[in-house]
Amino acid sequence: MTNMISHTVNTDALLTLKTALVKETVQSLLMLKKHQFDLSTEKGIDYAVNCTVDSLLQQKIKNNEIQVLEQGNSNEVIQ
C-alpha cells in the first residue's frame, strides 16, 4: 500500500492517536486471544498486534479520524 498519514498532524495529536491505538489493540487482543491468535509465541503476538493495529487504523480512516494522502501527491485525499 503506497499511502501515508499526513505529516501535518501535530505531536499532541500523534501522541493521542498512539495512546488510543495501544489501548484498543490491547483490549482487542484480550477479547480475541482465545479465538484467532496464538499468543504463546513472540511471532504470534507480533502477528496479532499487526492485524489488530491494521484493523484499527482502517476503522479510523473509514470514520475520517485520520486523513490519508496518496504518496507523492499531497493535494489529493484518498477516502
Per-residue pLDDT tens digits for 23-51: 777 777 666 555 567 778 888 878 877 88
User: Order of strands across the sheet with 77-78?
Assistant: 3-5, 68-70, 77-78
Q: pLDDT-based confidence at 1, cuts 50/70/90?
A: very low
Q: pLDDT-based confidence at 2, cuts 50/70/90?
A: very low
Give me the number of domains the chain comprises.
Answer: 1
Give the per-residue pLDDT at 5.
52
The whole domain housing 63 covers: 3-78
The residue type at 33: K
Residue 28: closest CA among 13, 49, 46: 49
